[in-house]
Amino acid sequence: DGGITQSPKYLFRKEGQNVTLSCEQNLNHDAMYWYRQDPGQGLRLIYYSQIVNDFQKGDIAEGYSVSREKKESFPLTVTSAQKNPTAFYLCASNGGSRDGEQFFGPGTRLTVL
């Protein structure tokens, strides 16, 4: 079955530690995205990548970093510079066949203690 996987589902970290969230897709999609969602809010774009070895900052990139070394993988690192990292993080991909359709992973709920 094709899809997007994110791990882990729940993650706890101490303040000041960097943490990397995993996102893998086997849909053969070129474009991948990272969003942050706070309780009762919409999704805000952190970073996006249209192709391997290329990525751009979204609306709230400060305190985050990404890499895109493989088409299937788009890991997100939440650094200690991110002031309020506790949130629900969602990874998505788009294959271009239907422009406005993105496929989402199950999300990682990060809590910084």
Partner 1 sequence: GQSLEQPSEVTAVEGAIVQINCTYQTSGFYGLSWYQQHDGGAPTFLSYNALDGLEETGRFSSFLSRSDSYGYLLLQELQMKDSASYFCAVRIAMDTGRRALTFGSGTRLQVQP
- Out of 13, 27, 44, 63, which residue is the one contacting partner 1 (CB under 8 A)? 44
42 binds partner 1 (CB under 8 A): yes
Among residue numbers 84 through 103, which ones bind partner 1 (CB under 8 A)?
A: 90, 98-103
For residue 29, count other CB atoms closer than 10 A to its CB.
19
DSSP β-bridge partners for residue 94: 31
Alpha-carbon distance of 84 to 80, in angstroms, equals 9
59 binds partner 1 (CB under 8 A): yes
| Smaller CB separation from partner 1, 10 or 14 | 10
Would you say 62 and 44 are in contact if contact means Cβ atoms under 8 Å apart? no
What are the start-end ranges of the E strands in 1-113?
4-7, 10-13, 19-25, 31-37, 43-51, 54-57, 64-66, 76-78, 87-94, 103-104, 108-112
- Out of 22, 50, 73, 86, which residue is the one contacting partner 1 (CB under 8 A)? 50
User: Of the listed pieces 12-20, 21-29, 40-48, 72-80, which binds partner 1 according to CB under 8 A?
Assistant: 40-48
Q: Which residues bind partner 1 (CB under 8 A)?
A: 33, 35, 40-45, 48, 50, 56, 58-59, 90, 98-107
